[in-house]
Amino acid sequence: MNSLNSVDFTLSEDPFALFAEWFLEAKQREINDAEAMALATVDADGLPDVRAMLCKGVDSAGVVFYTNNESAKGQELASSGKAAVLFHWKSLRRQVRFRGPVALLDEATADAYFHSRPRVSQIGAWASQQSRPLDSRATLEARVETFAKQYGEGEIPRPAYWRGFLLTPVQIEFWKDGAFRLHDRVTFTRESDGWRGQRLFP
């Protein structure tokens, strides 16, 4: 087995502490975007949908991300109230999955993060009608220019539809590559008195 993955899982370990350890290593060693994750949702017909986006925080409360609440994923999150995310760090040959209910963060938290973003990204949040049909790239660029002129050098307000989300996991699974596909998998399930760890067949 690769030396990166030579340490056994501890089933009694706090899964958030273990994630923090892996996440820190990923930030130091992953070539691109250690914060990238795949967010999976389902539409009103139960058809799954998945897309890559950036995680903006993980702690004992759960996984934080931001998006346009009127986008396809925003509507799917509002409809089902549940989601799953996957972090895959290819260079470390590790992945972590979170599953659970999703809720909106308060508006003050969304405001604070929105105003920490680059100004062009703030303009982009106004310019992009996310997930809706777009006739040409020129239309998008024109909208960017329009909103840039509208807000000038002043503070750009957060669009009401641009919100933060918290996924509160009921299950967290850690996976690390093993030789000959004999991978290591441990799942932690939230119970009334804490987290229960269970090793799984690969």
Q: Where are the domains of the chain?
A: 3-66+78-106+165-200
Burial of 77 (0-12, 13-18, 19+ CB in 10 A): buried
State mean pLDDT over 58-78: 95
Residue 183 has a pLDDT of: 86
Residue 10 has a pLDDT of: 67
CATH class of segment(s) 3-66+78-106+165-200: mainly beta
Residue 72 has a pLDDT of: 94
Which residues, in sequence order, are CB contacts of 89 under 8 Å at separation 6+?
Answer: 22, 26, 29, 30, 34, 95
State mean pLDDT over 9-19: 81
Average pLDDT, rounded, for the chain = 92
Percent above pLDDT 70 for the chain: 94
Candidates 72, 95, 74; CA nearest to 85 is 95
For residue 117, what is the DSSP state?
A: S
Conformational region of residue 33, where left means phi above 0, alpha means psi within -120 to 50, and beta covers everything else:
left
State mean pLDDT over 164-188: 92
Residue 5 has a pLDDT of: 47
Give catalytic residue positions.
181
- Does residue 107 carry a pLDDT above 80? yes
CA distances from 146 to 56, 128, 194 (A): 28, 12, 51
Going 146 to 121 to 137 to 164, the CA torsion angle's sign is negative
pTM over 0.85: yes
